[in-house]
Amino acid sequence: MYCPKCGNVLDDNSKFCPRCGYRVGNDSTKEINIGVIKDLSKKSDLNVVKPKKNNVNNGNVVVALLLVIIIIILVFILAVAIKNNRRVTTKQDINEYCKTHSTDTICGNKEEEKNDFDVLDFSSYSFDVSTSKEGFVNQVKDALTSKEEEGNKYCNNTTYTKLNSHLDKSLNLNYSYTCNVDEIYMNNVVNRLNDFYRELKIPEALVNSYLVGRREPQVYADFSFKILGFNENYYGYIKRIYINSNTFSDYDVVKKSYERDLTSKFHPKNSKPEDVIVHETAHALDYYIFTKKMNIENLVIDDTSKYGSMIDSWNNQTYSTQVVKEAVKRVNDNLRAEGKNARTEISLREEISGYAKQLYAETFAEAMVDYFVNKDNASPLSIEMYKIVEQDLISLGGK
């Protein structure tokens, strides 16, 4: 099976995804182990001293007292087990439990935990898996539309409603939810992304949505895809950029943090905080070209075996690795033609940014930002990678 969050291949018995930590199985720690209690209750002679034959009456009293003690112990064990291992696997279970246990941590005492809007949760939508492919696509679109309406009601801010609408229309997205991100920053992001699309003449939307939510502090944003529903013939999924509201709620704080990283050459030269989202959109560009080459469609994959093959290739960074390797060769061919020494791959990647040397997928995204910002003054590797991507977009019917 596959992880519904990141698409990683999992064993059928896996409870958690080793790649992203997503829980994919039932948490057995929330199940009461009735078998143990039943086994104990059967052992009525546990710790009971057998009475002597010549003291039957006294022996019966002792046995009766011990049985009472055992029953009391068993009741106590059961009470503790219920308290610590209660079965609360659904929202209905939790609501019922919390009516009488409102102070329990699982009931979410904090108001922000009770009312937080989960932009990634599509569990309340049911999909008819027996429908046609076209029907399934329409169901996915309806779920996205409903989710956007739900998000706008939760946000209750007309500024963000207009901002989301502008982002969706300008980039041809299904829906976006940007509430709680600094408004100035998000406006800058919309303009930056429009420029990025125009620069590359990208013919289609690279993602279905830009979403906002609370993440761990070290995560700026990420690109991923999420399975919404599936049957034996196809998978319905969305691609999204996820933006950390913990990080981007204050533009001044973001700028200071980004400038410190820029000084240490962690980001491409002359880039701005808005280019964090451009970087993630470049990952989506990587995915777009990669899946186009595999003839995989947007929103629905109509061949489940093709989905598995796609996941394996994507995890192996197939396309980004090819682009980096070919660009390194071109750079060194040019250097040799000029009578200069060839350079190592790692030195060329490090020249883009400190982050570019992490993975080939990160080299790809950082190179797109580098060229987008610096054009002909970008690093030689970024320039050659951009040329390769540009040619691939043309071959796919883009530029």
Which of 115, 149, 164 is at the close of a domain? 115
Q: Are residues 171 and 282 in the same domain?
A: yes
Which of 80, 115, 150 is at the close of a domain? 115
Q: In the chain, how many domains are there?
A: 2
pLDDT of amino acid 38? 24
Cβ count near 81 (within 10 Å): 15
Q: Are residues 111 and 139 in the same domain?
A: no
Q: Are residues 83 and 201 in the same domain?
A: no
Residue 137 CB partners (closer than 8 Å, separation 6+): 236, 299, 300
Longest dimension (CA), the chain: 111
* Distance from the Cα of residue 136 to its chain's centroid: 23
Helices 251-263 and 183-200 cross at an angle (nearest 10°) of: 50
> pLDDT per position in the chain (399 positions), as tens?
556 555 566 666 665 565 554 455 543 222 222 222 222 233 322 222 223 333 334 455 556 666 667 767 665 554 544 444 333 334 444 455 555 555 444 455 433 333 466 776 777 777 777 777 788 788 888 888 888 778 777 887 888 888 888 888 888 888 888 888 888 999 999 999 999 999 988 888 899 888 887 777 777 888 988 777 776 677 777 888 988 888 888 889 889 989 999 999 999 999 999 999 999 999 999 999 998 888 877 667 776 677 778 888 888 999 999 999 999 999 999 999 999 999 999 999 999 999 999 899 999 999 999 999 999 999 999 999 999 999 999 988 754
Range of the domain at 313: 133-395
Q: Are residues 155 and 92 in the same domain?
A: no
| Secondary structure E strands in 144-273 | 209-213, 221-230, 235-244
What stretch of H or E contains 301? Answer: strand 300-301
pLDDT of amino acid 350? 96
> DSSP assignment of 99-161, as one string?
HH-TTSGGG--SHHHHH---TT--TT----TTS-HHHHHHHHHHHHHHHHHHHHHHH--HHHH
What stretch of H or E contains 199? Answer: helix 183-200
Q: Are residues 49 and 86 in the same domain?
A: yes
Q: Are residues 158 and 284 in the same domain?
A: yes
Distance CA 51, CA 63 (A): 8
Q: Are residues 155 and 106 in the same domain?
A: no
pLDDT of amino acid 39? 28
Amino acid of residue 367: A
SS3 240: strand
Q: How far apart are the first and last CA of the chain?
A: 37
6 domain residue, yes or no: no
15 domain residue, yes or no: no
Which of 84, 115, 146 is at the close of a domain? 115
Q: Are residues 50 and 176 in the same domain?
A: no
SS3 6: coil
Distance CA 379, CA 376 (A): 8
Q: How many residues does the chain have?
A: 399
Distance CA 179, CA 160 (A): 6
In 3D space, the residue among 183, 169, 175, 237 whose CA is nearest the CA of residue 210 turns out to be: 175
* Tokens representing residue 377 in the block: 């003054």
* Tokens representing residue 167 in the block: 């982002």
Q: Which residues make beta-bridge pairs with 225?
A: 239
283 domain residue, yes or no: yes
The strand pair at 221-230 and 235-244 is best described as antiparallel
Global pTM exceeds 0.85: no
Q: Are residues 103 and 154 in the same domain?
A: no
Q: Are residues 139 and 109 in the same domain?
A: no
260 domain residue, yes or no: yes
Give the DSSP letter of residue 236: E
SS3 291: helix
